[in-house]
Structure 1
Amino acid sequence: MDLGSYGTTALLTDQYELTMLTAALRSGTAERRAVFEVFARHLPAGRRYGVVAGTGRLLDAVEAFRFDADTLAFLQERDVVDGPTADWLAEYRFTGDIRGYAEGDCYFPNSPILTVEGTFAEAVVLETVVLSILNHDCAIASAASRMSVAAGDRPLIEMGSRRTHEQAAVAAARAAYIAGFTTTSNLEAGRRYGVPTAGTAAHAFTLLHDSERHAFQAQLDSLGDGTTLLVDTYDVERAVRTAVELAGPSLGAVRIDSGDLGVVARRVRAQLDELGATGTRIMVTGDLDEYGIAALAAAPVDGYGVGTSLVTGSGAPTASLVYKLVARADGPEAGAPMRPVAKRSTGKPSRGGLKSAVRRLDGHGVACAETVTTGEPQPAGRDRLLQIPLVAKGEVVGREPLAAARDRHAAALAELPSTALQLSRGEPALPTGFADGGPRH
């Protein structure tokens, strides 16, 4: 487990979680069994699916959710909690169960992405950290998936570290890799999560030298002729000629970062071929998003670097997930009956009850609907159950290699109908229906 600069995740939360805890402890309702659910009421406008990401980070955060002496001292000095609440927090360990959609899978409006079961007290304090992680990572992965679809077989480099918070950059690189990006420029993501890393040089390196020729030669001497040379600092045509002259036809790649990328790429491809560098690849960067990538589909481009648009969710920086109480016990006793509860707020309704979800697949293995049930799910034929155990009686059971989430996402995309992969604005690719299943045992 590696939480960066955080020794505990307990204060990555909103004060109102502890306000509710204090009041519930006083009223005697804190120990009632409760079920919280994470879901999105809608997808970002025009999006056809969302991508679950951040699950692995979430499991680390839940495991590290502890109130040590320094944390408790801070809370009491600020009068955030009273003495009895501080005593309760000192012993805090999440002892409940968490189930959820597997990382890398797709979701739709009202999909029960995560279900947290435990006492009200131990589950409510997790709300903010759960939503912080999932809202960010799902938003990034959802944007990254669209970019990966637009790129097809061409590789994508995540390079948005300088456009977001330093820790968000690490999480973004991880989420992008799950959703199909090939590499990241962020070295901490490589160290912490094993995401493959890549990077060469910026315009500053060229400007440092007395000439572009000197800069190229220095890079080639250091990294070999398989490196990628940035050719748009001054004059692209002259730079390409110099690059091939110095590296020969075995030059790995050139990078274009400005101008009309499609037009420039065609000119560069023709020039490289004329100079005999037929195997030299062309990489393009420069404020690309999924639409810019799609527009370059017919251009002689071999790969893309994406920064700002990726780390800001390509216009949807949050997945708009919510964490809502959907069931609670009538009393604190272990066997107290559970009852569904739901909001009726205008524009913000919720559906009560502990839920499961099934993705319905037709005879060809293509997803056609998502069914959410408040009873035991009833899969049939090729239908796929969507929630898996993540935490059982307080113990993490759902950790997996990052590569598993990446493979799962590719498989989840492959089972969606072809309309899901269109970049044009549209409705969610799958309808979400609600049904009562059989009784739970």
Structure 2
Amino acid sequence: MNTADLGLPVAVPSTALFTDRYELTMLQAALRAGTADRACVFEVFTRRLPDGRRYGVVAGTGRVLDAVENFRFDSGVLDFLAEQRIVDEPTLAWLADYRFRGDIWGYPEGEVYFPGSPVMRVEGTFAEAVLLETVLLSILNHDSAVAAAASRMSVAAGDRPLIEMGARRTHELSAVAAARAAYVGGFTTTTALAAGFRYSIPTMGTSAHSFTLLHDNERDAFTAQVDSLGSGTTLLLDTYDVAEAVRTAVEVAGPGLGAVRIDSGDLLLLAHRVRQQLDDLGAKETKIVVTSDLDEYAIASLAAAPVDAYGVGTQLVTGSGHPTCSMVYKLVARADSDDPAAPLRPVAKKSMGGKSSVGGRKWAARRLDADGVADAEVVGSGAIPAELADRQLQVPLIRGGETVAREPLDAARARHAAARAGLPLSATQLSRGEPVLPTEFV
């Protein structure tokens, strides 16, 4: 059992340089101007969902907690900043003692969100909060995009399990994060051992075409695999002729063969043919796994096919056409001085072209209709209406610089399933549409 199982942080290197240079230059200027210690509130939100999507999924929160805890300017980082003349000596001295000592609130991992939802709120001085912008957005934009794609695929798959297989289709570190996000979104296993090690996600995997090609013939390959892994293994069928491979597989493993995998061709047609052939050969309990560039639409098209599980790679780790959620990190309130008692006042960007923001430190709640189904995302900066007081979405994640919201990954996975089930039925439609809930600002 690793530390993630126990709710403890996994040791990782400093995350302090997962940031844009302008955050450090803003810090330097604010320190010189005397405004760095003003209390500020930043919020993470998106102005719109990816085109055609009906809901978003918050993922990466646990990784955010890791990143904030490890956001430290150690000697190697400080030496780099000095050598590159990125900031001046007073700023380097300030960074040497940096710790985030503020508060972070957010939607709990696995929750759904909509345009304008304040999915994360960071409260602290300008100096300590501004530095977190890039690393928080990097994590949340990537992981939430993968989780949203995974959620849609989970809807399409129904009760059939989904296998995350995207490690070879993305950056090696992104692959681990993607496997984690996919698990939150509804996938059941991953082929990425690093994700299994770090996050205790169940892993699986047996053989590729190269293993069959290594041997003199398909029978020898199947025999070697069954001898090593047992008859419950999964044999890959489509290296040569699928029908012949099915016959050979059952002859080698017997009718207790665990599963077969189809990785190319007309999956709908082949699944029916393979199922019939397996049944005729007495292998009625043998499962059929399909892979090959699947997305939610391809999975949905196989709903009537005798398929038992789906393996998904490229489309999953790239967000199924939407690799980012376009989340932004904006200052929404600040004090007029560095006096800790100074009141906060709303501030907002008033840009052209739909890039404006709404000022004020905001709360969020999900209103339900008479049947207990969500009917609106309500966001406000004043008093919370009494009828929404027990429907608030934000929870404390970090208080006074200390993490307070560690939880097992399975909790986020279960939360997502419950949150999605609480949306109107149209949320699960795969066709393009508007957000299933309106966002009401009050």
Equivalent residues in 2 for 1:188-267 (5 A)?
188-267=194-273
Q: 2:375 aligns with which of 365, 368, 381?
A: 368
Q: CA deviation at 1:376?
A: 3.3
2:421 corresponds to 1:411: no
Listed one character per residue, the Cα deviations across residues 390-412 of structure 1 (whole Å, up to 9, x for unaligned) are: 00011000111101001100100
Q: CA deviation at 1:248?
A: 1.1
Q: Counterpart of 1:193 in structure 2: which amino acid?
A: Y
2:95 corresponds to 1:80: no
Structure 2: distance between partners of 1:99 and 1:382: 16
Structure 1: distance between partners of 2:349 and 2:389: 34
* Conserved 8 A contact 1:255-1:285: yes
Structure 2: distance between partners of 1:107 and 1:377: 19
* Conserved 8 A contact 2:12-2:70: no
Q: 1:221 to 1:160 in 2, by over 3 A?
A: same
Structure 2: distance between partners of 1:51 and 1:40: 12
Equivalent residues in 2 for 1:60-75 (5 A)?
60-75=66-81
Q: 2:300 aligns with which of 285, 289, 294?
A: 294
2:401 corresponds to 1:394: yes
* Conserved 8 A contact 1:363-1:382: no
TM-score between the two structures when normalised by the length of structure 2: 0.97
Equivalent residues in 2 for 1:19-418 (5 A)?
19-346=25-352, 347-380=354-387, 384-418=391-425
Structure 2: distance between partners of 1:370 and 1:137: 22
2:437 corresponds to 1:430: yes
* Conserved 8 A contact 1:157-1:304: yes
* Conserved 8 A contact 2:365-2:388: no
Counterpart for residue 438 of structure 1: none
Structure 2 residue matching 1:177: 3-state secondary structure: helix
Q: CA deviation at 1:383?
A: 5.8
Identity rate of aligned residues, in percent? 70
Q: 1:97 to 1:25 in 2, by over 3 A?
A: same
Listed one character per residue, the Cα deviations across residues 171-205 of structure 1 (whole Å, up to 9, x for unaligned) are: 00000001110100000100101111000100000
Q: Counterpart of 1:66 in structure 2: which amino acid?
A: R
Listed one character per residue, the Cα deviations across residues 109-137 of structure 1 (whole Å, up to 9, x for unaligned) are: 00000000000000000000000100000
Q: 1:158 to 1:393 in 2, by over 3 A?
A: same
Q: CA deviation at 1:375?
A: 1.9
Structure 1 residue matching 2:252: 3-state secondary structure: helix
Q: Counterpart of 2:180 in structure 1: which amino acid?
A: R
Q: CA deviation at 1:379?
A: 4.9
Listed one character per residue, the Cα deviations across residues 313-361 of structure 1 (whole Å, up to 9, x for unaligned) are: 0000011100000000011111112110001101201000000000011
Q: Counterpart of 2:331 in structure 1: which amino acid?
A: L
Structure 2 residue matching 1:324: 3-state secondary structure: strand
The alignment's C-alpha RMSD in Å is 1.3
**Unaligned regions of 5+ residues in structure 1, if any?**
436-441
* Conserved 8 A contact 1:362-1:382: no
Structure 2: distance between partners of 1:289 and 1:414: 21
* Conserved 8 A contact 1:159-1:305: yes
Structure 2: distance between partners of 1:31 and 1:381: 34
Q: CA deviation at 1:34?
A: 0.3
Q: Counterpart of 2:333 in structure 1: which amino acid?
A: A
Q: Counterpart of 1:376 in structure 2: which amino acid?
A: A
Structure 2: distance between partners of 1:41 and 1:4: 33
Structure 2: distance between partners of 1:376 and 1:411: 28
Q: CA deviation at 1:103?
A: 0.1
Listed one character per residue, the Cα deviations across residues 210-240 of structure 1 (whole Å, up to 9, x for unaligned) are: 0000000000001111110000000000000
Structure 2 residue matching 1:277: 3-state secondary structure: coil
Structure 2 residue matching 1:35: 3-state secondary structure: strand
Structure 2 residue matching 1:380: 3-state secondary structure: helix
Q: CA deviation at 1:378?
A: 2.3
Structure 2: distance between partners of 1:249 and 1:109: 52
Counterpart for residue 8 of structure 1: 14
Structure 2: distance between partners of 1:382 and 1:344: 30
Structure 1: distance between partners of 2:342 and 2:372: 42
Structure 1 residue matching 2:31: 3-state secondary structure: helix
Length, aligned pairs only: 435
Q: CA deviation at 1:6?
A: 4.8
Q: Counterpart of 1:391 in structure 2: which amino acid?
A: I
